[in-house]
Amino acid sequence: MALAAPRAIAQIDRPTPDELAAFDAFADSFLTERTIPGALVALASGGEVVLTRTYGLADVELAVPVSDSTVFEIGSISKQFVAVAVMRLVEEGALGLDDPIQQHLPEIPSEWYGATVRQLLTHTSGIPDYEEIRSYDVYRFRLTPEEIIQIAHSRPMDFPPGTGWYYSNTGYVLLSRIVERVEGQPLGRVLATRIFGPLGMTQTRLADPEAIIPHRASGYWVDRTGALINRPPTETSSTLGAGGLLSSARDLARWDAALDGAALLSEASKAEMWAPVAAPGLEAPEYGFGWELAPYRGLRTHRHSGQVAGFTAYFARFPDQDAAVIVFLNRYQAQSWPLIERALDTLVPGLDPPE
């Protein structure tokens, strides 16, 4: 299916010079106080980045500043790409949302039988989260799918499939494997040929410590004394589509635009993807297929945060305003919400006052 070109840039309100100066001062102070090496904040509309603010260093040891071309690991924002890949296969009749997952992955533990593709997408499968069991350090190691399954299976099911909601990265590793099985090729190649290539997302790909990736930011953390330390890049095999992608502000702007119209999915498929999940006896957590859906201060949003062992990221679409906000930080556990909220206050018109 041919993908449509990005739509025209909308006329959106932009911050005044004084508002930007105040935000820059806040951001500089925020990074210094929290020992965050670098950050990028961007506003996108119409498939283009219309405003970018960059701060600090993409690589501390080489003193490379963050630029508008810097590529960051995006953590769980990756899940929405897997969700779209799944929905395209559903539209083509190659996969069913209510297929039991053992139909595509017969090697899974029998305890997981009966969980469906839909339940993996919505975190209602009850399959335990292997990251929670092994912590973010799990992303530093090369793991086989069998090893990830073994880690997750070391804990009993959180609940019977479809009877609860609990965030599980294991579900998106399994979805990645299902996509690979149906397509007959690795996930990175599927995403490149199905999504990234047609959209011109030339800076988005699965992470790989050994690959030469132009403009890649280094990831950091702090030790127990508060000193900045290096964190190794994420291993592709340890996370796949659960949290293994790198991207740039420009590429996420193109992704945002492609999600409007029928470039990637039909309106019916998108409505299903962006419908809050429901399960018996469960108050809807306002989560769809790889997207958080709760309104933000009066505005409709599709959004997700991301975190891996060297990076924190945030991507929020405001479809009624034709705007998207992107925040990248190259530090793990950065307590980033104050910066994200200040960015949203500065860049998105129409927000209700904070409570």
Q: What angle, 0 to 180 degrees and rounded to 10, lies between the N-to-C axes of helices 145-153 and 169-183?
A: 150
Write down the mean pLDDT value for the chain: 93
pLDDT at 2: 34
Question: DSSP code of 152?
Answer: H
Exposure string over 303-329, b if 16+ CB within 10 A, otherwise e: bbbbbbbbbbbbbbbbeebbbbbbbbb
Residue 2 falls within a domain, yes or no? no
What gap in Å lies between CA 157 and CA 153, rounded to an integer? 8
In this predicted structure, which of 108-117, 273-282, 314-323 has the lowest mean pLDDT? 273-282
End-to-end CA distance of the chain: 45
Query: pLDDT tens digits for 283-292?
Result: 667 999 999 9
Residue 10 pLDDT exceeds 50:
no
Residue 49 falls within a domain, yes or no? yes
Segments forming the whole domain that contains residue 230: 17-347
Residue 153 pLDDT exceeds 70:
yes
What mean pLDDT comes out for the span 140-162? 94
H/E stretch holding 322 reads none
135 pLDDT tier (thresholds 50, 70, 90): confident
Q: How large is the C-alpha radius of gyration of the chain? A: 20
- Tell me how far the alpha carbon of residue 92 is from its chain's centroid: 24
pLDDT at 37: 98
Report the percent of the chain where pLDDT is more than 70. Answer: 95
Query: pLDDT tens digits for 206-231?
Result: 999 999 999 999 999 999 999 999 99
pLDDT at 3: 38
**SS3 category, 34:** coil
Q: Single out the residue of 98, 121, 103 nearest to residue 171, CA to CA.
A: 121
Quote the number of domains for the chain: 1
Residue 84 falls within a domain, yes or no? yes
Residue 7 pLDDT exceeds 50:
no
What gap in Å lies between CA 322 and CA 314, rounded to an integer? 17
Phi-psi region of 239 (alpha: psi -120 to 50; beta: other; left: phi over 0): alpha
User: What secondary structure does DSSP assign to 183-250, as a single string?
Assistant: HTS-HHHHHIIIIIHHHT-TT-EE--TTS--TTBPPEEEE-TTS-EEEEPPPPGGGTGGGT-EEE-HH
What is the CATH classification number for the domain harbouring 122?
3.40.710.10
Contacts of 233 (CB under 8 A, 6+ apart): 73, 207, 208, 209, 216, 219, 310
Residue 81 falls within a domain, yes or no? yes
Residue 350: CB atoms within 10 Å: 12
pLDDT at 74: 97
pLDDT at 141: 87
Residue 245 falls within a domain, yes or no? yes
pLDDT at 90: 98
Q: Single out the residue of 240, 261, 242 nearest to residue 319, CA to CA.
A: 261
What gap in Å lies between CA 168 and CA 242, rounded to an integer? 9
What gap in Å lies between CA 338 and CA 43, rounded to an integer? 17
What gap in Å lies between CA 214 and CA 248, rounded to an integer? 11
Query: pLDDT tens digits for 27-80?
Result: 999 999 999 999 999 999 999 999 999 999 999 999 999 999 999 999 999 999
Report the percent of the chain where pLDDT is more than 90. Answer: 85
Residue 11 falls within a domain, yes or no? no
Residue 173 falls within a domain, yes or no? yes
Residue 38 falls within a domain, yes or no? yes
| Dihedral over alpha carbons 165, 74, 191, 186 (to 10 degrees) | -80
